[in-house]
Structure 1
Amino acid sequence: MTEACDLTAVEARRLIGVRGLSAAELLQSCIARIEAVDPAVNAMVTRDFERARAAAKAADAAVARGDALPALHGLPIGIKDLQPTEGLRTTFGSPLFADHIPVADDRIVASLRRAGAIVIGKTNTPEFGAGANTRNAVHGATGNPFDPAKSCAGSSGGSAVALATGMAPICSGSDTGGSLRNPAAFCGIVGFRPTPGLVPNDRRLHGWSGLPVVGPMARTVADTALLLAAMASDDASDPLATTVHGMTVRRAAGFYPPARIDLSGLRVAVTPDFGFAPTERLVRATFAEKLGLFRHVFARAETASPDCAGTDGVFEILRSLGFLAAHLEKVRQTPELVGPNVRANVEEGLRYSAADVARAMTAQTAIYRRWQSFFQSHDIILTPAITVSPRSWRELYPADIDGVPTRTYFHWLAMAYAVTVVGHPAVSLPVGLDRNGMPFGLQIVGPRGGDALVLRVAAELEALLAGDIRTARPVPDMKVADRRADQRDARLSGL
């Protein structure tokens, strides 16, 4: 794939700025890729091509006039279908919103448009983001670009697939239990979970909860940092975006471009499971193989983990509170129109008492403080980004891992939600393929507030590993994927 749509976002933006590529040409290349490839994977479920063409024309006119150009000027972007877009169908993957057309943009979407991004369409997600398999009753399932018979994970699965196949150079995502990181790992792209409050999120009903965040997805670390820089702000609509009065704390220069860092000065902790995540033997073996190729570049790389005891229970209880706030009335009034994952979360939440919530919040604080002690002697943590290799999209979730039953439908996401519970930043970096020939993601976890550090380490590793086929970012062969028409028809005809 050597079309304009395969350029990195950074390079495409540079060419637009120097008139080496027009926004209209880039957009048309992305549209052509969507039309050629999306029938095989079902990632870009709602399209806005005509308005995008008008926006690209306006972007090129601004270049011709010599206007000051914003950071994302002329770059097509896919928006996750959980984020409302003015005049463009936004379903949340739910039959309740199958025909919903918002009258205004979500706050983050509006800021991305102001930064020059051109919305090309909406990317698929599970119903209300519940679950890490991107399938729903409105749009069907999204297939993995390396094998459409397999899951692309989720809930930002549509964005990950759109990026991996060149439908757009940047996409938005969100993350509670790994919804940015899991599909990034499954599809061979970069997904970054920022510190809560760094990217404003005014759709979070529990404004002081740090579990759900909005963040960037792209094919390279630099592209991800570019998008993050456009997303981050001191927006008072998000109560977690604490700042110093009269000062700008969150500024683009802090994230893009990622500054160089000497890996040989880093004290690294390596863990295949954080001491509790149910990690597949194949993933453990692949993780060890990949690390064996580069762990020597650090000052120290020891097998160690923060004490994560109690993380499962904390996440299960606190996660359920968000579902009660957002979906209790839907389950009560129209249960037949609500899927099994959402119903299960609401039913679970109703079983907990105020005492249970108090204990969970106390335990979360204790876990957080243990992490802070751990980071006094470690700079970063490296783990697999996900606990299993991609499985069939028909499997709603992994009910067992290596024959051992999982405790909930989201238990297999424990590698990701270990980080969510303590609010640390983390990125999933593509590091070649696993033993099944599917993408493998390395999770890089930073200290409290260490978003820029995580991106710097990721960028350095990306450059270091790019020259080795065993660790370079894999690229899907969409000619192979497109021949799987039978699976495509099954995805779209029903679940």
Structure 2
Amino acid sequence: MAEQLHWPAQRLAAAIAAKELSARELLEAHLGQIEKVNPQINAVVTLDEAGARKRAEAADALTISGEPLPALHGIPVTHKDTNNTKGIRTTSGSPILKDNVPEFNDVIIDRLQAGGAVTTGKSNVPEFAAGSHTFNEVFGATKNPYDHSKSAGGSSGGAAAAIAARIQPVGDGSDYGGSLRNPGSFCNVIGFRPSEAVVPKAPSANAWNWQARVGPMAREVADIALVMSVIAGDHPELPFPTPVAPQRFTEPLEKDLTGMRIAWSPDLGLGIPVEKEVLEVLERQLEVFESLGAHVVETAPDLSDADIVFSNGRALDFALQFGDLVRNHREKIKSEVIWNVEKGQGLTGQDWVEMTLARTRLAHNVQKFFGEYDVLASPTVQVLPFDVDETYPTTINGVEMENYLDWMRSASVISATGIPAISMPAGFSSTGLPVGLQLSANHNQDFELLQVAHAFEQATGFAKELPPFLEGAE
């Protein structure tokens, strides 16, 4: 079964459907890989082996029943520990919730399970998903599969590390300021942030929360599309219909990039500091797009309003979601969460007037930009994976970071625009650390963005590079 752990979800589901492999066999390989590699990286923090075996047995019964099989049939998956899972501990990395066992699933979990995924447990997160480095007081830090002394990123760091370590082919995550994209970059996997309302984020304290997203991670773009076909679609609790039908993601990914207009920006026009080696790795990849027939120009949209839109919107959402927890358990919550909540509670009416005007200007600027360009390429993360014992980078190129979010601006200013974005494996530093390329497209161009990412993937194949500690492993 060692070979199958490297297979994409599409191939695994097809093998199970063809009775070449059973869901139970795949599950045992998955559990065996957790036992073997998880002690070194700490990606998986909760297991439900008994429940998983029942689910795999049910999947095998469905295989032989002759009934239609779902897209993710028999694929074992651990879920992000901020996504509620019925009957399985969900802690959000917080001591307050260390024994919390929900009585319901979040919508994304319901859809993954209905789509055939075999739930096996939970993957690690930073406390309440605050920050892009996965560590907490309940379970400790998740380590980068490519260098165990480095961060795996976050907040979907446990999922990214598990996928990179061949524990599972796909995973679910969430993304506010980069939480799918940043760990994707750090762990040499793909993290996809969909457009607003394509994948419902429910339940939610704020049904109009337009910056928070949930989405997939994988090692292949085809698997991203596969998962999107399962988790996308309308939901009755939310006020907006999906702008991209789930069936769209089942269409062919092949696309000719000849004549495509790709904008490249190393700093998104904002002077965002980015480590030199990150830029050196990414700038080498621009030739890939040119070899595929695209035109690459160095430019960026006017994103000068993005920071206020992101920071004030995030602060309000933190106040809505975590205000009561901070009020009742302040001494048990990390300072970054408290800071964000208090910032949200302190916003004035004038702050909201200014943010609404800024959001409108930003939207106009983005639409003007995508009238001229098809895709925006930029660094996913401003730094290489940093020391796992650091809380977050405090300086980049000699520039001081004002707070725990500043080092994530290359991702968070894209979040502020609301457009879809994907982090693609794009090479390695001189010390073998992964670097991700962020690709963004206009609103609701999610599938078209995956087509561009697929073309880049087919021309490069960086995600096939195994973490060193897995090389030669049986």
Alignment TM-score, normalising by the size of structure 2: 0.96
Q: Which runs of structure 2 are paired with 1:28-177 in the superposition (5 Å)?
A: 28-177=28-177
1:343-365 Cα distance to aligned partner (Å, 9 max, x none):
12122223321211221121012
Other-structure match for 1:329: 324
When residues 472 and 338 of structure 1 are mapped into structure 2, their CA distance, relative to the original with a 3 A threshold, is closer
Which 10-residue stretch deviates more, 249-258 or 393-402?
A: 249-258
Structure-2 separation of matches of 1:447 and 1:192: 14
What per-residue deviation string (whole Å, max 9, x for no partner) do you get for residues 260-313 of structure 1? 111112111011111122222221222212223543423311001000112222
Root mean square deviation, CA, Å: 1.7
- Aligned-pair CA distance for 1:140: 0.7
- Give 1:111 shift: 1.5
Return the offset for 1:86.
0.9
1:275 to 260, 269, 272: 269
Find the aligned partners of 2:241 and 2:376 in 1 and give their Cα distance: 26
- Alpha-carbon separation, structure 2, partners of 1:204 and 1:323: 12
Displacement of 1:257:
4.4
Q: Encode CA deviations 1:384-416: one digit per residue, 9 max, x unaligned.
A: 111110001111111110111012211111111
Q: What is the 5 A alignment of 1:394-405?
A: 394-405=389-400
Counterparts in 2 of 1:30-429, with a 5 A limit? Answer: 30-239=30-239, 241-242=240-241, 250-276=244-270, 277-429=272-424
> Structure 2 CA distance, aligned partners of 1:368 and 1:473?
37
Distance 2:230 2:145 in 1: 28
Number of residue pairs the alignment of both structures matches: 472
Q: Distance in 2 between the 1:84 and 1:147 partners?
A: 30
The match for 1:476 is 467
| Gap runs ≥5 in structure 2 | none
Alignment partners' CA distance in 1, 2:55 and 2:223: 21
Distance across 1 between alignment mates of 2:387 and 2:268 = 26
State the AA in 2 paired with 1:266: M
- Paired position in structure 2 for 1:437: 432
**8 Å contact kept, 1:56–1:74:** yes
Contact 1:428/1:444, CA 8 A, preserved across alignment = yes
Aligned partner (choices 445, 461, 478) of residue 456 of structure 2: 461
Distance 1:269 1:36, change over 3 A: same
Aligned residue for 1:273, secondary structure, equals coil
Change in 2 beyond 3 A, CA 1:481/1:138: farther
CA contact (8 A) 1:268 1:298 kept: no
AA paired with 2:9?
A
Q: 1:148·1:481 contact (CA, 8 Å) conserved in 2?
A: no
Conserved 8 A contact 1:88-1:102: yes
| Residues 1:481 and 1:425: Cα distance change in structure 2 (over 3 Å) | farther
Contact between 1:134 and 1:152, CA under 8 Å: does it hold in 2?
yes
Q: Indicate the larger mover: 256-265 or 8-17.
A: 256-265
Q: Alpha-carbon deviation of 1:13?
A: 0.7
The code of the aligned residue for 2:192 comes to: F
Distance in 2, matches of 1:82 and 1:202, equals: 12
Identity percentage over the alignment?
Answer: 39
Q: Secondary structure in 2 aligned to 1:334? A: helix
Cα gap change, 1:124/1:481 in structure 2, threshold over 3 Å: closer, same or farther?
Answer: farther
Judged with a 3 Å threshold, the aligned counterparts in structure 2 of structure 1 residues 63 and 121 are, in CA distance, closer, same or farther, namely: same
2:296 alignment partner, SS class:
strand
Q: Provide the secondary structure at the position in 2 that maps to 1:216.
A: strand
Distance 2:274 2:153 in 1: 16
For 1:168 and 1:238, locate their aligned partners in 2 and report how far apart those are by CA, in whole Å. 30
Pairwise CA distance, 1:97:
0.4
Residues 255 and 177 of structure 1: CA distance in aligned 2, closer, same or farther (over 3 Å) = same
Q: Check 1:235–1:350 CA distance in 2 against 1; reply closer, same or farther (3 A cut).
A: closer
Match of 1:492 in 2: none
* AA at the equivalent of 1:149: S
1:18-68 deviations in Å (ceiling 9; x for gaps): 111111111111111000000000001001111111111111111112111
- What is the TM-score when the length of structure 1 is the normalising length? 0.92
State the alpha-carbon separation in 1 of the partners of residues 313 and 372 from structure 2.
29
Asked if 2 retains the 8 angstrom alpha-carbon contact of 1:267 and 1:298, the reply is no
Paired residue secondary structure (1:348): helix
Name the CA distance, whole Å, in 2 between partners of 1:5 and 1:284: 32
